[in-house]
């Protein structure tokens, strides 16, 4: 059964139809990649789902509730978490304190309580860090962590909200190939363990083809293809918008390997 049903979603900026009536669904336990060339409408779509942009048209039905018109915080309260392109943690706090802050917030407590609440749900926070392989670094300040480790902490923070849906905007941007694979393998593990859905945008085709269960492809605001990675790889419409006629993902990959 679908967890989220997007129908005829649209958004214009002045005369530009950034997203032009797209429809797709997302099921629980599914990693769905949103791809497309620059300016295709990925960020606009993503930001309509998380509430940062209000759709002009259409509907986003999530777990039976309409998201269009809700504020980001209200959407978050419906168990929709997100991670950011630029890793965002509080550098002056330790790893475990960052997760404790997220638990405070998920429990509707005020941040001003924090001074009195340094022990707040420490064990639960450590449990979340365990799930992302960061328990051993719990008491280190976030400021000293390697970038890949910050991304893991971010995942633990996102899990504090017990998400049914996790939104990831270019999760592997700025990472080396090995780190990318580690992060996506971890994401896949969390998806399986929690039966959580993930919607992610991604420029790295290697990541998308290796980890997405399904993909949707946008071009100039329209949804031009939808399917499993092998179906998308062979779709001539997709090849066309990415590379112009005559080129393929395989050829692109080979030319990168040679370079």
Per CB under 6 A, 131 contacts ligand ATP: no
CB of residue 179 vs ligand ATP: minimum separation in angstroms? 21
CB of residue 90 vs ligand ATP: minimum separation in angstroms? 27
Per CB under 6 A, 13 contacts ligand ATP: yes
Tokens representing residue 32 in the block = 């769905």
Q: Which stretch binds ligand ATP (CB under 6 A): 32-40, 79-87, 122-130, 142-150?
A: 32-40
CB of residue 56 vs ligand ATP: minimum separation in angstroms? 12
Cα–Cα distance measured from residue 26 to residue 206, given in angstroms and rounded to the nearest whole number: 22
Sheet holding 31-35, edge to edge: 80-83, 165-169, 197-201, 31-35, 214-219, 222-227
Q: What is the 3 state secondary structure string of 157-199?
A: HHHCCCCCEEEEECCCCCCCHHHHHHHHHHHHHHHHHHCCEEE
Q: Between residues 86 and 119, which has the closer beta carbon with respect to ligand ATP?
A: 86
Which positions from 149 through 188 interact with ligand ATP, judged by CB under 6 A? none
Sequence-distant (6+) residues with CB within 8 A of 88 are 154
Q: Which stretch binds ligand ATP (CB under 6 A): 24-32, 38-46, 154-162, 208-216?
A: 38-46
Q: Which stretch binds ligand ATP (CB under 6 A): 41-49, 89-97, 108-116, 140-148?
A: 41-49
């Amino acid at each position: 059964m679908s967890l989220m049903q997007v129908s005829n979603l649209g958004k214009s900026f002045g005369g530009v139809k950034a997203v032009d009536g797209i429809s797709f669904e997302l099921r629980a336990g599914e990693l769905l990649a949103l791809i497309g060339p620059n300016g295709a409408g990925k960020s606009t779509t993503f930001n309509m789902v998380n509430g940062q942009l209000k759709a002009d048209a259409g509907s986003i039905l999530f777990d039976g509730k309409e998201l269009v018109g809700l504020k980001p915080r209200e959407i978050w309260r419906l168990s929709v978490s997100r991670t950011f392109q630029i890793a965002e943690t509080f550098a002056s706090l330790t790893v475990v304190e960052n997760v404790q802050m997220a638990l405070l917030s998920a429990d509707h407590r005020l941040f001003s309580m924090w001074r009195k609440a340094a022990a707040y749900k420490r064990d639960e926070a450590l449990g979340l860090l365990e799930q992302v392989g960061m328990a051993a670094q719990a008491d280190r300040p976030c400021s000293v962590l390697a970038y890949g480790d910050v991304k893991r902490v971010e995942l633990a923070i996102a899990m504090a909200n017990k998400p049914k849906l996790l939104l990831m905007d270019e999760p592997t941007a700025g990472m080396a190939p090995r780190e990318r694979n580690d992060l996506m393998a971890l994401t896949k593990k969390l998806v399986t363990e929690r039966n959580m859905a993930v919607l992610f945008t991604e420029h790295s085709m290697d990541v998308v083809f290796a980890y997405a269960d399904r993909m949707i492809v946008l071009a100039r605001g329209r949804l031009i293809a939808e399917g499993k990675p092998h179906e998308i790889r062979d779709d001539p419409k997709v090849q066309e918008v990415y590379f112009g006629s005559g080129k393929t993902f395989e050829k692109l990959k080979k030319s990168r390997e040679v370079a």
